[in-house]
Structure 1
């Protein structure tokens, strides 16, 4: 079975690229799957996240091509799918359905639309709503990241194919250090962008760090709002405590030095960083934003879920954990409660089952003629 993961650029360092490489690396271990990656183009020569040497990488274009040339995208993608005799094309972001569904017109190829954002969130482009409706009519399967979002799809769209929840898995990391009970660091990981709610974070940090001058809060990631965030940190006079660390290829070293993890996002497709933090036994404090955190954190057991977007309550709960070493340790000891459903072996098995089921399904339609 020839399975192609279709990406905008698989060399990027985002969560979408991270989880898709993890899944692909697991699938390729099974001889029944012939796996490759296809990007529109690649800005870097090597991928940020490791990809198995048994997985080939391809690009439609040698360099970035204007997104307005949709018919060109479709034509080149169609040529690739037919030339490589692809059985299943997995769009690792639902927005790619705009190109893939017309491209497979009257081919044997089937489409799995892997949606990384919740149904009610349409970041970056307004036509994401259109691609979701397109996937509902024409994709052989839609994969969503949470049970609550699966219900959103079923309640709002007339879906012709399979719709299935497959969680993002724990990353492969067997070298987890013991929880540092004496740590005086908070960590947040994510793109420096509007959706990550870093404006909320700075307001919360004022209330937390002003009371705890010996604590630091490290933000791991890069993004378009770096300059704005730097200005806000300076205005808040937090330069020595609230620190932008930039990107890293070893995020675990920050998790393993921290006392807790905080997520202030306006929305999440899933909340993969929460899972990574729990893997390192960190207590987690998060807004109960759509979608994901409520399916990852056991409120009052291994962290706190805060109503959106109550910055005062979040600051209060963070301060509570700072002041209560016993509570932090208790949360740390129970960090893995409820995480069995995220085990990589379980997630990879679900992907295998889905792909086999998709191959058995009749095509949902002939696609849309370009």
Structure 2
């Protein structure tokens, strides 16, 4: 090598189903942006769709199939999987990737097989609790296939314990979700909070916003409103439900919003009603912004974030009456809201982006050695 010849940067293939709005997609984008100055980054989405999050200009994005197809028969599903894997294999081979990093179950499954075929290391990350999110067939497939990855990254101790039965401990790493640098820069705790309840998440059954709508309809606080940020297949159903419950004038469905900092700065209470999670980004962000938070004690994540009645409130999953009781308690006590919000913010300092992103950087560097 001559003295003036630049050192070749390693090439990373990053794989995810899509870059549409979502917690996993946001973290994935943050990691890609953080690594872009050190590595050649190629992102491969399984499907062509909206790229919701801003990416470093040097990152190259490609996709495997034009559209996502649901409700297909088993034979068609197998054909789609074969197409996806074949195209992903060709694209990753073309860039001579030194390592593959993937997020979410389907992308992880392809990545493990592909890394063995191409003889390169893989880092995969499960973003949700497989016991609750996947059917039995996929759980078996995941446990068997994930054994062959170089490293599996999870977000919580509970999910790590789930995989301990099938993976060696040296293959399991916990890296918690980093807060967004963009959000951190926009925190303004001095703003006066309004009489409003905020929910952020995809409008899907997993997030169970129906529980919040029904509980809200039974509160005796006509001066409060409910704001729901997110998009999804249940939007029309939830809008119709709000009319049925006669709360449509107090409920706003705001769609997917890239910058949620104005809402985190000014709304009064944050509520997470999920049936299961991986590690809920929206809850971490609300806690950082000093919002008093109520969350279901679902698997997994919330009970590793919230100490009940110290820095937030935990309720059983799908417990409408408990949610009503705790909302009434917070709405009637501004001192308690302030106390919980302050304690929440202090408790999530470990999610600062420099800490989590450095863990990803070190993990990739060590895996490439």
Distance in 2, matches of 1:182 and 1:61, equals: 45
Show CA shifts across 1:168-205 (max 9, x none).
11111212122544510110001111111122112211
Residue 177 of structure 1 is matched in structure 2 by: 188
CA shift, 1:112, in A, is 1.4
Match of 1:15 among 18, 23, 32: 23
Q: Does structure 1 residue 140 correspond to structure 2 residue 142?
A: no
What is the 5 A alignment of 1:123-138?
A: 123=134, 127-138=137-148
Against the structure 1 CA distance between its residues 285 and 76, is the aligned structure 2 distance closer, same or farther, given a 3 Å change threshold? same
How far does residue 262 in structure 1 lie from its aligned partner after superposition?
Answer: 0.4
Equivalent residue for 1:188? 199
CA-to-aligned-CA distance 1:269-301 (integer Å, 9 cap, x gap): 111100111222111100110001111223222
Would you say the 8 A contact 1:283–1:303 is kept in 2? Answer: yes
Cα distance in 2 for partners of 1:204, 1:63 equals 37
CA drift at 1:153: 1.1
Which segments of 5 or more consecutive residues in structure 1 lack a partner in the other structure? 361-370
Q: Distance in 2 between matches of 1:341 and 1:355?
A: 20
Go from structure 1 to structure 2 and tell me whether the alpha carbon gap of 1:140 and 1:182 turns closer, same or farther (over 3 Å shift): closer
- The size of the alignment, in residue pairs, is 351
> Once superposed, what is the RMSD of the aligned Cα atoms?
2.0
Bigger relative CO (Cα 8 Å, ≥ 6 apart): 1
Distance 2:356 2:26 in 1: 15
Match of 2:91, SS? helix
Shift of 1:8: 1.3
Q: Which residue of 2 aligns with 1:24?
A: 32
> 1: CA distance between counterparts of 2:110 and 2:242?
41
8 Å CA contact 1:197, 1:264 repeated in 2:
yes
Does the C-alpha gap of structure 1 residues 204 and 64 become closer, same or farther in structure 2, counting only changes over 3 Å? closer
Does 1:4 find its partner at 2:8? Answer: no
Give the TM-score, by structure 2 length.
Answer: 0.89
TM-score, with length taken from structure 1 = 0.89
Pick aligned residue for 1:324 from 318, 321, 333: 333
Unaligned 5+ segments in structure 2 are 1-9, 70-75
Greater fraction of residues in helix: 2
CA drift of 1:308 comes to 2.5
